[in-house]
Amino acid sequence: MNPRKERVIVLVDMDCFYVQVEQKLCSEYLDKPCAVVQYNTWKGGGIIAVNYEARARGVKRFGRGEDAQRQCPDIHLFSVPEVRGKADLTRYREAGASVIEVLCKFCDCVERASIDEAYLDLTEVINARMQNDIRVSADQIPNTFVIGWGDKENNKAAVESWLQTIYEEDHLYHDRMLAITAVLVEEIRIAIFKETGFKCSAGIAHNKMLSKLSCGLHKPNKQTVLPLSSIPLLYKTIPIKKVRNLGGKLGEQVTLKLNANTMEDLLNLPKTQFVNSFGDKTGTWLYNVSRGIENEPVTPRQLPKSIGCGKNFPGKSSLDTKEKVKHWVKQLATELEERLLKDQENNHRVARLLTVNIRNTSTPGYSTVSKSCPILVYSAEKIARDAFAALQKFNSSSNSSWTPGILSLSMAAGKFEDRLDVSTNDIQSYFNTSMSPTKKTNNNCDSSSSNIDTVLDLIENESKFETSQVNDVVLKRDSSNLKINDSNKARDISSFFSAQVPSTSKLNDGNEGSTIKVPKSYSDQYESNQMLENNPKDNVISNDNVSNKTSDLTENVSVSKMETSSTNDIKPKPKGFFARKLEEKLKTLNSTTLTNLATSEISSHENSVDTYDQNVSSVNFNPGICEQSASSIDQYPKVTELDPELTTLCSKCNHEFQFGKKMNMLITM
């Protein structure tokens, strides 16, 4: 038996859904002509939903509110809620979600197609029911129509005739599947009304395309079955543009190239004509569709694939200045942030991609252009900054104006991924936890940085910090800024890289207790720099002024005075590579510069550092390093002018390593 005939696909479509949502909030308008209009006030606003009582009086969608009131004086017009100068569809989304919850009680394979539509693949459920010898009666499906069998006036008799036929003919197994499905869909629609108060219609067929076409034939609050034998009859009245995926440019090309207007016109064409006109792949697909064959699966998805918002700016209201564009980008970004945070809390997932779409005065018709970028942080400011940066490509003006003007602006977040750790709303931590423990980065994002900057930072840090070297020295990290214990001696700084030293350093990144690894190659390189620890006397600075400078500086960083003893008998160890390079660098300095350095007065740690920076141009010492004590250090000095050999550093230990250089230079002098 043909597998496609065994599939049973249902489309559930809520009837004039926006009106039903408003009527549920204002029950006094039930069963009365109503419509929902957009938030603009021109001619009463644009109508986006009309109930069937108003349609019977001549009111149509996409008309104006004032026109509807002239046609139907007793019509009630609901207005879409407005937030930040644009429509707020929150109540409609929440109502749609409540319907999905009911559908999931009957079927595991539910695909949410829009805010008011959902596809169900009931094949497994129906196959289970078919195991029992069940004969469906017309009384079980009182609101069901069967295409090709009777009309509205004689519907019950037509359904009875169809049921009698399918149970008499053994080969109509697939029609019997549709009959049992009709019973189940009646149950589903009743459950939706009882639990949500909303009425809906449904299309029952063997694929998504056919269920979509049949769903709208008998509304409201009805359901329609499409047997395979009735497809040619249905196609007689179906325009090509009404078929899924044929409503756009492809549908226009099919109409022009094949000189066809209805699906019946395509039904009479051979496959070769489709292939010659549209190629093998598209031509074969069109040929199958013209025969009612479509194999697109129902993808289990109760959540939307993307979350977005937008606004139109028709005519003179187009966005023609940068300030206008920035304002509306910020408004949309704020709404998007709120919805993303709510989605993250409810559905435990995070979006990875931000897409901005615009339609401007230069794009023909309703075509749009778009630009995408990563999204790592749910922050309205960051989203707005990234979106505006992406839109700059479409602005040809160099001044404060925006050319061409924007007629429609929207943004959406997509490419969702499940998030297992939902203990925090900081989306950045999601990406940090996915890294190797040896590649952790600071979670504290600068509020001025953008999502794009965050991506670049992550890539840069990961490329700098390689962990493939062996014999790593493991240093402890906790959750505060770096601190050097007051009891540590000055020698600890130079020996920091040559031994496994328990550190009291704290980095305020939320990774307390985690570890970082420093390559031991740096430890080996500076092993001989422990001269101060082993031979303190040989390293005593003889110049009083320089000694005062050093002691003053070390006092400001709360390093205890050096413990010295008489060790004249002990010969000093040879200086290491690092010390020798520093010594060579210092020898190149002008003697006058050293004299000025030795005689300059240092009244505070800031003055001492500033003076040192002015006279020793090879070192860029950050004044913030000497604030109060070493336990309050929150930033590190940067070396910008040392030899390249001395600045090939591990990105994770760069700051501590550079600080060691400064102390070694002072001690050597």
Q: Which residues are catalytic?
A: 117
- Helix (H/G/I), strand (E/B), else coil: 346: helix
Backbone Cα Rg of the chain:
37
d(CA 653, CA 399): 45
CA dihedral 93, 98, 104, 106 (to 10 degrees): -130
Instruction: Name residues whose C-beta falls within 8 Å of residue 104's C-beta, 6 or more positions apart in sequence.
Output: 110, 302
Strands in 76-79's sheet, in edge-to-edge order, are 47-50, 34-37, 76-79
- In our burial notation (b when 16+ CB lie closer than 10 A, e otherwise), range 292-310 reads bbbeeebeeeeebeebbbb
Contacts of 272 (CB under 8 A, 6+ apart): none
CB of 434 closer than 8 Å to CB of 419 = no
Task: Identify whether the C-beta of residue 643 lies closer than 8 Å to the C-beta of residue 619.
Answer: no
Both ends of the chain: CA-CA distance in Å? 93
8 A C-beta contact, residue 606 and residue 626 = yes
Which residue blocks in 317-378 are alpha helix, DSSP H? Answer: 322-347
Is 52 exposed, middle or buried (CB count within 10 Å of its CB: 0-12, 13-18, 19+)? middle
Nearest in space to 413 (alpha carbons), one of 328, 325, 330, 343: 343
Sequence-distant (≥ 6) Cβ neighbours of residue 270 within 8 angstroms: none
Residue 121 phi/psi, 5° resolution?
-100, 105
- Kindly report the number of other CB atoms within 10 A of residue 28's CB atom: 7
Q: Provide CB contacts within 8 A for 468, sequence distance 6+.
A: none
3-state secondary structure of 361: coil
- The amino acid occupying position 275 is V
> Can you point out the beta strands (E) in 82-160?
82-83, 86-87, 110-114, 117-121, 144-146
Name the nearest CA neighbour of 56 among 31, 77, 80.
31
Taking each helix axis from N to C terminus, what angle separates 451-464 and 380-391, rounded to the nearest 10 degrees?
90
The DSSP call for residue 572 is P
The interaxial angle of helices 90-103 and 17-25, nearest 10 deg, is: 100
Nearest to 283 by CA among 316, 304, 254, 305: 254
How far is 99 from 662, CA to CA, in rounded Å? 67
The one-letter amino acid at 597: L
